[in-house]
Structure 1
């Protein structure tokens, strides 16, 4: 299954956990055991959800630090979780080039978010990339 599809499925899981205020990993375990009407989660979607859950406080801290107007807690649920997925890929998944992580996030934002979201997401993820480059020096 394409990674784009896996990202969308991961977003659905993160969104649901966020909306319900449920622990991400407990919801993931439920979705793995009982996928419901959907096909089982792709392996990469599981990797994303586990990675975001494992590094959530660090990811949110970097997003807060790099955001000029909105803190993570004030962002829309879909925007916030798209950002978390891409930030996890930028910060923790060396298999995905930063540009690909950003492009994939923008693709999700263009189809799922309001008109201002793609520019906001692009700017914030670009700042995350710059912050990551500085921290690796």
Structure 2
């Protein structure tokens, strides 16, 4: 398989792809052409030579029938990108909410008993409660 331009075999800007097997035991081959968009594409022919067949199979390049990479992006891109973005924002919001929740929960819990004894020793308050016996002072 090869490309012709104005009847002559053409090799510039041609990418020879791999030969790949199909599920039915046949094979496929690609030879990609990258013509200038402003050029007359009808000058190009794709020529396929098959063993055992006398005549070549020739297909003229027609812009109306050939798919290119120059097409505008389809709406499918938007249909896929929008949910992905929304899910990403929701994920970030959930993670942020969980972080805030656990920080507030940690800040609002009462200190442990080890923390209480530390606080008393730091303040040095030996205040007496009403149930404690008063100290006697001698004069």
Report TM bin, short chain: under 0.3
More strand by proportion, 1 or 2? 2
Q: Normalised by the size of structure 1, how large is the TM-score?
A: 0.25
- Choose between structure 1 and 2: higher helix proportion: 1
Q: Which has the larger radius of gyration?
A: 2
Higher relative contact order (CA 8 A, sep 6+): 1
TM-score (norm 2): 0.25
